[in-house]
């Protein structure tokens, strides 16, 4: 199994890495290798709502760009160096479990909460909002996140994928690149 490093510098992984892995592994082996839910993060951003507040980008520099890097992948899991295991933090701060180093993302944007096999998402008072299937989440009101859900953190779009959907998305991306 290719390990996805949970360190803040490697939290976002180019989709191209998973495409190469999928071409190497069978469907079942790929799903077993990557059982963790994933966020497929689009590099293109949507316009901010009128009156939205922009903050300075303090995330790591050098995110991959160019052909094959229009999508990044982030595992929805705790970093190994984090003692607070109840929530998976999403935000611009390097200490977040999922660091999205984009100016429209708040330092502490949202949390994923796992309830058995189900996942919930809640906004923690972000400046530019957290959206689930186009609907803005109310602060501190967790909402269930279905497999394949479209999410938005500020301007940053993402899709929540459980293992089988993630494999299908990677397979499709691999076919489109051939």
Cβ–Cβ under 8 Å, residues 141 and 122: yes
Cβ–Cβ under 8 Å, residues 160 and 39: yes
pLDDT of residue 165: 95
pLDDT of residue 3: 39
- Look-up of token digits 């906004």: 123
**Phi and psi torsions of 87, nearest 5°:** -130, 150
Which of 84, 89, 119 minimizes the C-alpha distance to 106?
Answer: 89
In this structure, are strands 38-45 and 71-75 parallel, antiparallel, or unpaired?
Answer: antiparallel
What is the block-wise mean pLDDT of the chain (178 residues), using blocks of 10 residues? Answer: 42 90 94 95 61 38 42 89 77 93 95 92 97 97 97 96 95 84
Helix (H, G, I), strand (E, B) or coil at 41: strand
pLDDT of residue 117: 86
pTM summary value: 0.80
Residues in the chain: 178
Helix (H, G, I), strand (E, B) or coil at 109: coil
pLDDT of residue 48: 46
> Packing angle between helix 15-24 and helix 163-177, nearest 10 degrees?
90
pLDDT of residue 174: 87
Q: Given phi > 0 = left and psi -120 to 50 = alpha, else beta, which region is 137?
A: beta
């Amino acid at each position: 199994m290719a390990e996805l490093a949970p360190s803040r510098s490697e939290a976002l992984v180019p989709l191209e890495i998973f495409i190469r892995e999928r071409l190497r592994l069978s469907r079942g082996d790929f799903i077993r290798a990557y059982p963790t839910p994933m966020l497929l993060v689009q590099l293109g951003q949507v316009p901010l709502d009128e009156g939205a507040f922009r903050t300075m980008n303090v995330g790591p520099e050098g995110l991959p760009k160019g052909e094959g890097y229009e999508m990044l992948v982030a595992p929805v899991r705790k970093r190994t160096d984090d003692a607070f295991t109840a929530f998976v933090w999403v935000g611009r701060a390097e200490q977040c479990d999922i660091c999205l180093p984009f100016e429209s993302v708040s330092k502490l944007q949202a949390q994923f909460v796992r309830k058995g096999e189900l996942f919930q998402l809640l906004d923690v008072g972000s400046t530019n909002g957290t959206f689930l299937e186009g609907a803005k989440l109310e602060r501190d009101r967790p909402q269930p996140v279905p497999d394949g859900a479209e999410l938005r953190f500020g301007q940053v779009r993402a899709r929540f994928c459980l293992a089988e959907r993630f494999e299908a998305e990677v397979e499709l991306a691999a076919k489109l690149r051939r």
